[in-house]
Amino acid sequence: MPSYRPGSTAMELDTKLAQLGRAPSMHAGMVNVPIYRGSTILASTLEEWEARKQDGNPMANYGRFGSPLSRALEEAFCELEGGYGSTLFPSGLSACTHALLGLLRSGDHLLLTDNVYGPTRTFAEQVLKRLKIEVEYFDPADLAGFRARLTERTRVVYLESPGSLTFEVQDVPALAQAAHEVGAFVVLDNTWSTPLYFRSFAHGVDVSIHAATKYIVGHSDALLGIATANERAWPLLQSSAHHFGEIAGPDDIFLALRGMRTLSVRMRRHWETGVQLAQAINAHPAVAAVLHPALPGNPGHELWKRDFLGASGLFGVALKPMTQAQLSCLFGSFKLFGIGLSWGGFESLALRVDPRPNWRAGENVESGPLLRIHAGLEGTQDLIADMTRALDGALDAGEGDRSVCVEQAGDSMPNAGKMRTHYGYR
């Protein structure tokens, strides 16, 4: 079982996760804040209506500006993050894009880590450039090169650590210090770590973003984004959300607040299972490299040990070269790993991904397919056996024995294959 390093506050976090955002006395004694649905919010008097318009008044005068439910999640999450204010968005990508829109102006210079989440890169290329914002990418491992790209026009530095798909860990404190020297805001996509395992604001970040769709919700049944800012960035982030009319749905907010109660328990299990699974397949003859920052010897492992309090269940696997038939056999052999987008839920997932245009992690390994693996909450040994069996089958298929692949795709688990087909996993 993973253990917290000295200086962590695991007990305090567990208690906070169970208690924050709850006020039974204000909701008829309900343990959980009820779902509030509504647009119009009535006032009893004209004076009450006018008072709601004052800055800082916690009462809203329209449903788009929040409810007791949305404020409960925002305030709880902000305290977990250690920020000044949090705001909700209808998806993780929406949190990413509106944080950028709130901080950037026409003519500004944006520096993006080159291993950034693909849709964020697409937004920068197709939207921000159209708004006359200069977009430039940098290698976060090259601090000198990063410093050379900073200018007086650099308004935002956008980080993601570990990097999307390839899981390089970045020296966030050093990058943030350099960015602040020219007055730039530092934005971090912190979805992989959650607030439990990386303390964004303690490491110099100005805006911390989470696709709450993933670990915060934890059950793959809601879409939600959360962005938290320090005092300097908060007015810009908040106004961006309001100007674009962004509001998350009440059912999704409720599910995120519910998921937060078990976040610590789930994350410890994801961490434990992910590391054991990564270690188990690291030496498999079909595997060229496992990309997991919590494994000794992986690039960024020392930074991970220094800055992080734990790991999630998401990591990469670089396979040795194999044919399309072998790859099809691999995915066709899975009994427990679903084939689908997203991650962070209770279920395990496997997906072939394309890390280009930038894949520094692949420079020293045989270039084969890259898999993104999410270790869910199933039994660890069952997941190891399932992944090992599928990798074995892919190798056997390469030797011309297709019957092995067909045999492994059978019903060793009752109805498993039929269920995956019915629900679109295959």
Domain end call among 261, 285, 316: 261
Same-domain status, 224 and 318 = no
CATH of the domain at 318: 3.90.1150.10
Q: Is 199 a catalytic residue?
A: no
Whether the predicted pLDDT of 425 surpasses 80: no
Reported confidence tier of residue 237, pLDDT bands at 50, 70, 90: very high
Please check whether residue 354 lies inside any domain of the structure: yes
Please check whether residue 3 lies inside any domain of the structure: no
Please check whether residue 286 lies inside any domain of the structure: yes
pLDDT in tens, 366-378: 678 999 999 999 9
Reported confidence tier of residue 400, pLDDT bands at 50, 70, 90: low
Q: Which range of residues forms the domain containing residue 107?
A: 10-261
Catalytic residue, from 108, 189, 252, 307: name it: 189
Q: Is 16 a catalytic residue?
A: no
CATH of the domain at 34: 3.40.640.10
Distance between CA 392 and CA 77 in Å, rounded? 43
Whether the predicted pLDDT of 10 surpasses 80: no
Q: Is 189 a catalytic residue?
A: yes
Please check whether residue 5 lies inside any domain of the structure: no
Catalytic residue, from 214, 268, 269, 320: name it: 214
Same-domain status, 153 and 287 = no
Same-domain status, 172 and 139 = yes
Report helix angle 380-398 to 263-281, nearest 10: 30
Same-domain status, 273 and 386 = yes
Q: Is 214 a catalytic residue?
A: yes
Same-domain status, 293 and 154 = no
Domain end call among 199, 234, 261: 261
Please check whether residue 32 lies inside any domain of the structure: yes
Q: How many domains does the chain have?
A: 2
Catalytic residue, from 117, 158, 197, 215: name it: 117
Residue carrying structure tokens 């038939």: 325
User: Which DSSP symbol is given to 124?
Assistant: I
Same-domain status, 246 and 360 = no
* Contact by Cβ (8 Å): 154, 133: no
9-27 average pLDDT score: 77
Whether the predicted pLDDT of 163 surpasses 90: yes
The token pair at 183 is 């007055």
> What letter represents residue 231's amino acid?
E
Please check whether residue 1 lies inside any domain of the structure: no
Distance between CA 43 and CA 52 in Å, rounded? 9
